[in-house]
């Protein structure tokens, strides 16, 4: 594989929508998501009203890359070798002693080889995007509440109620019916929760069009919500930008369901119509699959194997399946690149030793969690100040394995020429090469330490 990647060499450029093209105002959108679930649990399922009160300090619990054990209510942070770096019972962090007793240096009980381990199962759930993270905090606080009510409780059965809350707020008809809390509030005041695309990004999209690229939008959001988002962030002429728009794509199944692909469906007034045996022309569709899409892309580009690049923020829904199942180039939107550069290894010591977190303001979700440490790297207990004291996280490993490059936002590359050459992650097997505009400081420091 070539050492460098360039958009100029791609025939097709595809985008996820939420947290990729459409960036949210996280300090506002995260509480909205949390409240939409919490109010359902309290009012419809009888959970403790304390769940409705969230302090600024509570948000420090949120960190992408955590896994929730659905049986015992524990959260874990995985190392790249499958061992557990940190863990909590609800929001209460395990001490190093408890962590060693519970997990030791062995692989987490659900860990499998990198390609074999799903991010969703009946036994655990990985939190890997900003729609998910408020749910992590809510689940942890639910465990706290149930533990307090039933002293010594070891197993939990709340996940079905979380799923019911998600379905209530995000079901296909919720936008049109003004159901739940989330959609009515976004419709009432989109400017409070959404950031408009800067002019640099709009010009960049037009530049891609003029260069003859086929532009795709593939989102799991439904068509009515997609229209609201795109109209607000790009303007009412947004349909002219994209050759193909696919809503309700049901990712990652859009990429991975082989050989039983979901058919594409046409839309009429945002309602799904008949299933199509194949995809014959550009337009706006619902559901579908990457195999039929690729056949259309062959016709549109006139090439037997058009080169596709896909931008997305979710490793589970976007990056891993697009690379693993379709072998597309992938650009990961990783906002943690904005907030991880000030972390120092000594900050990885247990929160109990560092004192109470007393910042009066809630931290942005993309910055360092004082409870969980860096998204990219962490220290191994008992190995301080040695060459082996730092280890990459499982999330970090997946970034370098399945992403072509990782960037903090589309805006970060919008003013570069299309033939700019990005260094791939695979170049010389470097784990930092693919980060643009620069690698996380913690990874650079770790690399320097290991070359001494």
Catalogue the active-site residues. 16, 18
CB 146 within 8 A of CB 158: yes
Q: Using CA of residue 168, residue 169, residue 170, residue 176, what is the dihedral sign? A: positive
126, β-bridge pairs:
67
Q: Using CA of residue 286, residue 290, residue 291, residue 297, what is the dihedral sign? A: positive
CB count within 10 Å of CB 57 equals 16
CB count within 10 Å of CB 421 equals 15
* Count, residues in the chain: 452
Residue 101, burial from CB neighbour count under 10 angstroms (0-12, 13-18, 19+):
exposed
**Kind of pairing, strands 214-218 and 244-247?**
parallel
Token pair for residue 335?
Answer: 């906002």
Cα 303 from Cα 215, distance rounded (Å): 16
Cα 399 from Cα 65, distance rounded (Å): 11
Contacts of the segment 86-92: beta carbons below 8 A, 24+ positions apart? 86/371, 86/372, 86/373, 86/378, 88/61, 88/140, 88/371, 89/143, 89/147, 90/140, 90/141, 90/142, 90/143, 90/144, 90/147, 91/58, 91/61, 91/137, 91/140, 91/141, 91/143, 91/144, 92/144
Nearest CA among 292, 311, 256, 310 for reference residue 119: 256
* H/E stretch holding 159: helix 159-170
Nearest CA among 349, 344, 360 for reference residue 444: 344
* H/E stretch holding 47: none
The alpha-helical segments, DSSP class H, found in 178-263 are 182-188, 190-193, 199-210, 223-234, 253-256
Cα 127 from Cα 135, distance rounded (Å): 9
The CA-atom distances, in angstroms, between 27 and each of 51, 130, 221 are 18, 11, 21
- Cα 330 from chain centroid (whole Å): 14
């Amino acid at each position: 594989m070539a050492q460098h990647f360039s958009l100029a060499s791609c025939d097709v450029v595809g985008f996820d929508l939420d947290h990729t093209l459409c960036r949210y105002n996280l300090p506002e959108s995260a509480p909205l998501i949390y409240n939409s679930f919490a109010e359902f649990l309290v009012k419809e399922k009888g959970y403790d009203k304390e769940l409705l009160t969230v302090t600024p300090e509570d948000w420090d619990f949120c960190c992408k890359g955590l896994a929730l054990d659905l049986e015992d209510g524990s959260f874990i942070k995985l190392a790249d070798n499958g061992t557990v770096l940190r863990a909590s019972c609800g929001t209460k962090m395990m001490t190093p002693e408890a962590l060693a007793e519970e997990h030791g240096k062995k692989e987490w009980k659900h860990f499998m080889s990198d390609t074999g381990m799903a991010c969703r199962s009946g036994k655990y759930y990985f939190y890997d995007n900003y729609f998910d993270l408020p749910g992590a905090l809510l689940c942890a606080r639910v465990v706290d509440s149930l533990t307090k009510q039933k002293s010594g409780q070891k197993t939990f059965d709340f996940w079905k109620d979380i799923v019911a809350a998600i379905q209530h707020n995000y079901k296909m008809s919720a936008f049109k019916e003004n159901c739940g809390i989330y959609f009515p509030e976004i419709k009432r005041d989109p400017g409070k929760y959404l950031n408009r695309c800067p002019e640099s990004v709009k010009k960049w999209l037009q530049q891609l069009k003029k260069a003859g690229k086929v532009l795709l939008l593939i989102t799991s959001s439904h068509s009515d919500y997609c229209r609201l988002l795109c109209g607000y962030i790009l303007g009412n002429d947004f349909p002219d930008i994209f050759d193909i728009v696919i809503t309700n794509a049901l990712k990652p199944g859009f990429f991975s369901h082989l050989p039983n692909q979901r058919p594409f469906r046409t839309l009429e007034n945002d309602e799904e119509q008949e299933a199509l045996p194949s995809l014959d022309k550009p337009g706006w569709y619902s559901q579908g699959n990457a195999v039929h899409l690729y056949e259309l892309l062959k016709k549109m580009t006139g090439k037997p194997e058009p080169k596709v690049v896909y931008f997305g923020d979710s490793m589970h829904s976007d990056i891993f399946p697009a690379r693993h199942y379709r072998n597309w180039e992938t650009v990961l939107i990783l906002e943690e690149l904005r907030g991880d550069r000030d972390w120092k290894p000594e900050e990885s010591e247990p929160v109990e030793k560092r004192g109470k977190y007393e910042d009066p303001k809630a931290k942005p979700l993309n910055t360092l969690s004082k409870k969980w440490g860096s998204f990219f790297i962490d220290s191994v207990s008992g190995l301080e100040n040695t060459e082996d004291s730092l280890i990459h996280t499982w999330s970090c490993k997946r970034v370098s394995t399945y992403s072509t490059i990782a960037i903090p936002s589309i805006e970060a590359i919008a003013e570069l020429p299309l033939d700019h050459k990005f260094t791939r992650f695979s170049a010389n097997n470097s784990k930092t090469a693919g980060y643009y505009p620069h690698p996380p400081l913690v990874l650079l420091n770790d690399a320097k330490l290991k070359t001494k």
